[in-house]
């Protein structure tokens, strides 16, 4: 089944796209754990979808190896699960989210929205450069295939350091006496040594208290960014559909390697270690069949 992710892989490297149709790394990165947990929480029909997202992260972490250099694996998973919980809770306010109906041999990545489609972008930070890139990403261009506008919801997680995200959704500061939760001083200064850092997974209060403190300190609008809908006129939509069909037809036939993209620091190829040196990734040697 063709997807926007497959087309993105083809843009980066034709060989990567051909491999990703049949095989994937057995280990999951922090970002994959988080994204899969959030997707599960958005779609599940349970009383507490945010907790379900957290539970899904734990389930995945016990089923698959984790791709990390950190030695505190439990701490990393607890942190990821807490982040998946609050992201899902912020996004999901009603019924389970649904994807649009698949098109001919196409599995959608976007979610249905009242005014078209929507997609979630989990990122370090959001700026004009990132916005431009996401507007032209295949996950957004998918809207052209459906003839619907796409609203991008950017969730800014903060930088990744020592196995943890350092942003308002994951880290706050407690006043030494009042234990008031804060995220940013109103004078723009930093918190001194008397303030106690607190991670979301170690916070005793509720989700509501955490989000309310974020809102009072004015960090919510910088953390959850709603981008204006990306629209496609009929002519542009036709060109995008033709390009998608053309590239899909080449997947598996054009297997050139783009060696300069193997170790891209932003989007490294999952097959980088064997493929960059002209060896085939093999099941049982760190890879599994897609869907296994």
Sequential pLDDT tens for the chain (292 residues)? 799 999 999 999 999 999 999 999 999 999 999 999 999 999 999 999 999 999 999 999 999 999 998 899 999 999 999 999 999 999 998 999 999 999 988 999 999 999 999 999 999 999 999 999 999 999 999 999 999 999 999 999 999 999 999 999 999 999 888 899 999 887 666 787 789 999 999 999 999 999 999 999 999 999 999 999 999 999 999 999 999 999 999 999 988 999 998 998 878 899 999 999 999 999 888 999 987 5
> Which residues on neighbouring strands pair with residue 173, listed in sequence order?
182, 197
Beta strands (DSSP E) in the chain are 23-25, 111-113, 116-123, 150-156, 160-161, 164-165, 171-174, 181-182, 196-199, 224-226, 287-289
**Do residues 8 and 60 touch, judged by C-beta distance below 8 A?**
no
pLDDT confidence of residue 188 = 66
pLDDT confidence of residue 266 = 78
Domain that holds residue 78: 4-289
pTM: 0.94
The total of structural domains in the chain comes to: 1
> Which residues on neighbouring strands pair with residue 150, listed in sequence order?
117, 230
pLDDT confidence of residue 186 = 74
Nearest to 146 by CA among 227, 229, 240, 226: 240
**Do residues 276 and 259 touch, judged by C-beta distance below 8 A?**
yes
Longest dimension (CA), the chain: 66
pLDDT confidence of residue 132 = 96
**Do residues 25 and 66 touch, judged by C-beta distance below 8 A?**
no
pLDDT confidence of residue 292 = 59
């Amino acid at each position: 089944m063709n997807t926007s992710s497959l087309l993105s892989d083809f843009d980066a490297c034709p060989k990567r796209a051909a491999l990703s149709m049949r095989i994937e790394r057995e280990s999951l990165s922090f970002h994959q754990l988080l994204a899969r947990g959030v997707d599960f929480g958005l779609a599940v029909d349970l009383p507490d979808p945010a907790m379900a997202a957290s539970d899904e992260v734990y389930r995945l972490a016990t089923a698959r190896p984790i791709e990390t250099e950190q030695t505190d694996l439990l701490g990393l998973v607890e942190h990821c699960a807490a982040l998946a919980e609050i992201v899902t809770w912020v996004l999901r306010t009603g019924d389970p989210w649904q994807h649009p109906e698949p098109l001919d041999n196409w599995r959608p990545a976007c979610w249905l929205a009242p005014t078209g489609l929507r997609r979630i972008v989990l990122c370090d930070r959001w700026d004009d450069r990132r916005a431009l890139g996401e507007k032209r990403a295949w996950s957004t261009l998918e809207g052209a295939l459906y003839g619907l506008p796409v609203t991008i919801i950017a969730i800014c997680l903060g930088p990744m350091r020592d196995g943890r995200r350092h942003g308002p959704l994951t880290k706050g500061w407690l006043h030494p006496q009042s234990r008031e939760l804060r995220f940013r001083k109103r004078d723009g200064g930093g918190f001194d040594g008397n303030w106690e850092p607190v991670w979301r997974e170690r916070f005793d209060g509720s989700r509501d208290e955490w989000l309310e403190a974020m809102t009072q300190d004015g960090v919510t609008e910088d953390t959850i960014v709603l981008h204006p809908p990306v629209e496609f006129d009929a002519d542009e939509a036709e060109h995008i559909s033709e390009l998608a069909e053309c590239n899909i037809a080449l997947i598996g036939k054009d297997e050139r390697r783009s060696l300069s993209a193997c170790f891209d620091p932003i989007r490294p190829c999952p097959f980088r270690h064997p493929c960059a040196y002209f060896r085939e990734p093999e099941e049982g040697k760190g890879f599994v069949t897609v869907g296994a």
